[in-house]
Amino acid sequence: MANNLVILESPGKIGAVKSYLGSNYKVIASIGHVRDLPKSSLGIDIDNNFVPHYINIRGKGDLIKELKKEAKNADKIFFATDPDREGEAISWHLAAILGDDAKKAKRISFNEITKNAVKEAIKHPRSIDMNLVDAQQARRILDRIVGYQISPFLWKTVKSGLSAGRVQSVATKIIVEREEEIRQFVPAEYWTILANLKTVKNRNISAYFYGKKGKKIKISDKKQVDKIFSEIEKSDFKVSDIKKSVKHKAPQPPFITSTLQQEASRRYNFQSQRTMKIAQELYEGINVGAENGGVQGLITYMRTDSLRISTEAQNSAKAYIEEKYGKNYYPNTPRIYKSKNNAQDAHEAIRPSKISLEPLAIKKYLTSDQFRLYKLIWERFVASQMTSALINTVVADFENSGYIFRTSGYTIGFEGYMAIYGEAPDAEIESLEEEYTQEKNSKIPPLTKDEVLLRKNIEASQHFTEPPLRYDEASLVKFLEEKGIGRPSTFTPIITVILSRGYVSRDGKFLKPTPLGEVTTKIMNEHFPDIVNYQFTANMENNLDTIENGNVAMQDVLNEFYSDFKEELQKASETLGKEDVEIPVEETDIICEFCGSKMIVKNGKFGKFIACPNYPTCKNTKTLTKDGNEVVTKEIVVIDEKCEICGADMVLRQGRYGDFYACSNYPKCKNTKAKYDAIDLKCPECGADIVSKFTKSKKQFFSCSSFPKCRFSTWDIPTEQKCPQCQGMLIRKKNKEFLYCHNEKCGYRVEEK
């Protein structure tokens, strides 16, 4: 019997893949990369054609030994890492560490983890694609050069520990520029006029001011409003025009990585990292019960920017739609969606692996998040293959003294794809309505041309234009995609990096630049303009694609980049670092009660806190706690007790090990006391209160409040019951059904009934 070894990238796939292959296949995982560039040095020989120096990743020694041992015992080896550049590079690195045993290795890949896909991949192994490997290497080398050669300039100029990144710097710049737009925004006044009317048959209808003689007019001040009011005051409204039409609304295409992140954010408020984690779980495989085939990979590979769908998937969708909804719900020809020009077409769009696995049928096997995301992917794919919806629209104009008021409405003539993807059309219908009016009526009562309407009332409202919104994760991903910055596999890591390194912070669900992010962006704009140039970054992504396609050599792309980058480094070395750049402080509205200054946000060992800016003269600090997504100060609670040292009020504070009492005159007086909770029982030794306490390891015990004068304490639970022998306190043993006397000399003990 042949001894075959399959090496996956993620251990989460082992169960599914193992169940599809016979007993003569051993399945193990590399758990991501096994080799990488060293952290302690650049690791790239720039002068020798950018040759990278890879080392085994620290902490993976035992895993590498196991991989080598299993490879030596195997007759055939299959590298089954993810079907993208990163996965191809991992296979290449695996081949490098296996040495001579790699000669019996072949590369396989599958876009979905299903029995058919895995077995077909085993039947058609191939060699490692060095074009894919070189594209990944080029990205890694570029990122290493930019990070390791720019970061020292930031250390000298701003502060140590900072890092620059080829794409993370661009993403930070995008968020900084939006913040500048918001700061510079000047609100503009505008007005709307709403006419509430009634038909002769007593049906209500509302219409917004549109313009005059067919031309749209924007009302910018109260003077215009008064003029319109004065002219329409004494005249009637009559129907001047009615337009009816049928709109064909096509379904949206199946998801790609960016649109899945955007829709999951819009519907469920998922952050991109959460979306991709759930999608990874659905892709790797979940046990959906024996009746559904056991362990199944539920979706295709989730890092893709291609809208391509396999013929097999299209045929499955057609059969399902015609059987479930009828032949009129499937178009005359299958729908084919065109991917963007710069899309990599290695994978299909994100779709269910088996359309027969309906979300509700497997709901009990999924977590809440898994079910919601699977249902979203499943419904979007099925809807994408269905017929268009037919929407009957009506646009009505009402004329008064030459002025036009307009309303619109719609009814669904044929639901088409809306039968399954019910929420998505809302946005499309709203955009349809906005072509005509601000009013959103689902239906308009019957109207005839020249019909006169009764006036109920006319309302004018003042408005001001709003500044652009900050980016949230979904809108940032959309912007990155539109500009060609990054690829599906990099969107989430980019956001994670700029947040973790303190260039950007969360403000609710929105992303806001920190003072550090703004200062760093300013330096990058002035000294490394190419690195943070949108077009330059997008062109570099295209260059990586050309390496993948085999149209250009990796070294040529690196040489072209470095010739210009070297000049920027030289110029920066002559100007940067001569003067320190001060990072603006993050000021709060909280006033220091000791010196009256506005307190500022600081970063400490245990996270953010606020402190007086006059440190060390004033050492006042306050703890910050997380309340949802907003940072708030913990309210200061004054207790009914005075400090025995200086007589000031004692206040409740929060510390590393829980709450405690401190003098409000801190830092002049540093008196503190532990916070205990009284339990309404008296100490059997001295009559003082008994209090509940906790150790640093959160273990509860009880003791006398006058400790250390009185040494009474117990790990068990004091009770009100008296000992029948000595009248001492009976204590209940934790987790055991008996009581015992607190007085060891007495020794009384009784089982509880």
- Which residues are tagged catalytic? 301
Burial class of residue 286 in the structure, from the number of CB atoms within 10 Å of its CB (0-12 exposed, 13-18 middle, 19+ buried): buried
Give the residue from 245, 300, 291 showing the smallest Cα distance to 111. 300
Q: Are strands 452-464 and 237-249 parallel, antiparallel or unpaired?
A: antiparallel
- How far apart are the C-alpha atoms of 254 and 337, rounded to whole Å? 9
The secondary structure of residue 331, as a DSSP letter, is: -
CB 63 within 8 A of CB 96: no
Tokens 């191809």 belong to residue: 88
The secondary structure of residue 295, as a DSSP letter, is: E
Distance from chain centroid for Cα 289: 30
Q: Which two tokens stand for residue 459?
A: 């309302």
In 654-675, which positions are buried (b, 16+ CB within 10 angstroms) versus exposed (e)? eeeeeeebbbbbbeeeeeeeeb
Other CB atoms within a 10 A radius of the CB of residue 510 amount to 17
Enumerate residues 6+ apart whose C-beta is below 8 A from 622: 590, 599, 609, 610, 611, 633, 634, 636
Enumerate residues 6+ apart whose C-beta is below 8 A from 201: 445
Kindly report the CA angle at 282 between 281 and 283, in degrees rounded to 5?
90
- How far apart are the C-alpha atoms of 396 and 416, rounded to whole Å? 26
The secondary structure of the chain in percent helix, strand, coil, rounded to multiples of 5, reads 35, 25, 35
- How far apart are the C-alpha atoms of 577 and 500, rounded to whole Å? 25
Q: Which two tokens stand for residue 530?
A: 């190419």
CB 94 within 8 A of CB 34: yes
Give the Å distances, CA to CA, from 16 to 114, 115, 227, 355: 8, 9, 73, 18
- How far apart are the C-alpha atoms of 544 and 137, rounded to whole Å? 10
CB 250 within 8 A of CB 432: no
Give the residue from 409, 423, 428 showing the smallest Cα distance to 248. 428
In 11-20, which positions are buried (b, 16+ CB within 10 angstroms) versus exposed (e)? ebbbbbbbbb
What torsion, rounded to 10 degrees, do the Cα atoms 27, 32, 35, 39 define?
A: -160
Enumerate residues 6+ apart whose C-beta is below 8 A from 578: none
What torsion, rounded to 10 degrees, do the Cα atoms 310, 315, 321, 323 define?
A: -160
- Element (DSSP H or E) covering residue 120: helix 115-123
Give the residue from 384, 309, 378 showing the smallest Cα distance to 349. 309
Tokens 């709003």 belong to residue: 466
